[in-house]
A and B are shown apart, each in its own frame.
Chain A
Amino acid sequence: MSREISITALKYNPSNPKSKPEFKTYTLEETPGMTLYIALTKIKSTIDHDLSSDFVCRAGICGACGMVVNGKPRLACKTLTTDFPEGKIDLLPLPTFPLIKDLSVDTGSWMKNMSVRVQSWIVANEVTDISKIEKVVEPSVAEDVFELDRCIECGLCVAGCSTAIMREDFVGAVGLNRVARFSIDPHDTRTDEDFYELIGDDDGIFGCMSLLACEDHCPKNLPLQSKIAYMRRKMVKV
């Protein structure tokens, strides 16, 4: 038997001078297998056409639908409404990212800036000769790199981070994960001294307070705890 659920969302459009931040509650009938993404789509199509939220893939791959659900950063498409037995769900936009409107935030610009800041690409000193077979990479090393490459840049780690909440220049677990990914990649010839230039300060690795909300809210279950510790151990020795 289906039940009624109520979803309360922040409504605010910072680009409209007349808009005032307010909470609006929507009541709807829960359907089998309903995710928050489905619930929001239903609200937008039947109750409030003006409510804004982001999505692309609907399958936990693109990372676009991150929002704060009953206080915790989550992906709307991976969150079932049945996870909330009381049937009351409060939605907020992800903090730390510029608010576009209602539940929609600009994670893209933040992630682009982060990528540039930590030089999120392979840096190799040698020219690749594509006529030759490329260097062998140990499967275990490749697996470690691929594991960290699973990050979808949804921003939940940043939204859960107390340092990022207080200090807007903090690079976040997503940035530290990026550096860890390239530091273990044998294709990348950068040294620890080079990586120190990217994250060796209080806005980088030394700003992390190890509260691990990043690890606990990562929808891809990335090993952020151990990889941040790994980078800290390396950077402190430089």
Chain B
Amino acid sequence: MSQNNIIESLTGKTTNKHKSRIPAKLDFLQSATGLILALFIVFHLIFESSILLGKESMYALTMMFEGEFFIEGGSPIFISVLAMVIFTIFIAHAFLAMRKFPSSYKEYMRYRTHAKLMNHEDTNLWFIQISSGFMLFFLGSIHLYTMMTQPQNIGPFASSDRIYSDLMWPMYLMLLVSVILHAAVGIYRLIVKWGWFDGKDAKANRIRNKKIIKLAVIFYLAIGIFSLLTYMKIGYDHQDNYGERYHLPNKVEHAN
């Protein structure tokens, strides 16, 4: 056991008689990992909703992420590596954010009673954030692990089969709602937490930023739900050919 740790745990000071810089680093890392994940989701949901433009569009994007532009036919390993990187950041973020959760009956009871009595919007938003964050521990892990271990099963038919025939749609519906709410509230709180876009009138800009984020939530929920319905429709139509992969017209699809 490090003597530095023993001294700090007993005195609250490091050996050079200063407060530890670790809380600052943890606070920064919580925000940084959250920002990376939120930005990832912002683009991920746009990409996955390419199915709304047709199977060809979704297939073209899948091939792009499989690196078709520099490896002929692409390789799902790139998806796997990306999922692994995101999963690592996801776990780090969950670990850091958990520090803020109510950790006992007394804390939870005091917080919830206070929040319900006060009915303050940002305080209520935090409850949405911790609830959705808690759900994401499980839902996000299922999705990321699936993408990490079965990256070849992405495509207009493969994804639709997974969603419809493999009965993953309830999980994806809950994941969609949780991740959009969590990311939206998270981005809003990052903005106020670090004073981004405060400008000359921080109060007015906070109201404006909140409105923009609410509109973004509606937009992302709409494209997310319509995409999910589209995947389910394709999966329903394709259930008798479960496992068959999508082929571009007049082109042989890569081996899966």
List chain A positions with a Cβ less than 8 A from chain B. 68, 71-73, 92, 95, 160, 162, 165-167, 193, 196-197, 200-202, 206, 208-213, 215-217, 223, 225-226, 229-230, 232-233, 235-236, 238
Known: A209-B100, A211-B123, A213-B123. A165 touches B27 (CB 8 A): no
Instruction: Tell whether, in the assembled complex, residue B110 and residue A197 are in contact, meaning their CB atoms are under 8 Å apart.
Output: no
Contact residues in A for B122 (Cβ distance below 8 Å): 210-213, 216
* Residue interface mask B171-208, A partner, CB < 8 A = 1: 00000000000000000010011110010001100100
Cβ-closest chain A residue relative to B28 = A236
**Which of A196, A217, A229 is in CB contact (< 8 Å) with B198?**
A229
Known: A162-B123, A226-B202. A206 touches B26 (CB 8 A): yes
Known: A200-B19, A223-B202. A213 touches B194 (CB 8 A): no
Instruction: Tell whether, in the assembled complex, residue B114 and residue A95 are in contact, meaning their CB atoms are under 8 Å apart.
Output: yes
Contact residues in B for A223 (Cβ distance below 8 Å): 202
Whether B120 sits at the interface, judged by CB under 8 Å, is yes
Give complex CA distance A212, B118 in Å: 12
Query: How many A-B residue contacts, CB cutoff 8 Å?
Result: 100
Instruction: Tell whether, in the assembled complex, residue A210 and residue B193 are in contact, meaning their CB atoms are under 8 Å apart.
Output: yes
Give complex CA distance A233, B198 in Å: 13
Q: Jot down 27 A-B pairs with beta carbons below 8 A, ordered by A.
A: A71-B118, A72-B118, A95-B114, A160-B118, A160-B120, A165-B110, A166-B110, A166-B111, A167-B107, A196-B18, A200-B19, A201-B19, A201-B23, A202-B23, A206-B27, A208-B193, A210-B193, A211-B123, A212-B122, A212-B192, A213-B123, A223-B202, A225-B198, A226-B198, A229-B192, A230-B195, A236-B24
CB distance from A211 to the nearest CB of B (A): 5
Contact residues in B for A215 (Cβ distance below 8 Å): 203
Contact residues in A for B126 (Cβ distance below 8 Å): 162, 209, 211
Contact residues in B for A213 (Cβ distance below 8 Å): 118, 120, 122-123
Give complex CA distance A216, B107 in Å: 23
Contact residues in B for A232 (Cβ distance below 8 Å): 27, 193-195
Contact residues in A for B119 (Cβ distance below 8 Å): 71-72
Cβ-closest chain B residue relative to A223 = B202
Give complex CA distance A203, B120 in Å: 23
Whether B251 sits at the interface, judged by CB under 8 Å, is no
Chain B residues numbered 85-111 whose CB sits less than 8 Å from any CB in chain A? 99-100, 102, 107, 110-111
Contact residues in A for B194 (Cβ distance below 8 Å): 229, 232-233
Q: Which 7 A-B residue pairs are closest in the complex by CB-CB distance? A: A229-B195, A71-B117, A210-B193, A166-B107, A206-B27, A226-B202, A206-B23
Instruction: Tell whether, in the assembled complex, residue A233 and residue B195 are in contact, meaning their CB atoms are under 8 Å apart.
Output: yes
Give complex CA distance A120, B154 in Å: 59
Give complex CA distance A223, B204 in Å: 12
Contact residues in A for B117 (Cβ distance below 8 Å): 68, 71, 92
Instruction: Tell whether, in the assembled complex, residue A216 and residue B100 are in contact, meaning their CB atoms are under 8 Å apart.
Output: no
Instruction: Tell whether, in the assembled complex, residue A210 and residue B24 are in contact, meaning their CB atoms are under 8 Å apart.
Output: no
Instruction: Tell whether, in the assembled complex, residue A238 and residue B120 are in contact, meaning their CB atoms are under 8 Å apart.
Output: no
Give complex CA distance A230, B202 in Å: 12
Contact residues in B for A217 (Cβ distance below 8 Å): 120
Known: A229-B192, A229-B195. A206 touches B115 (CB 8 A): no
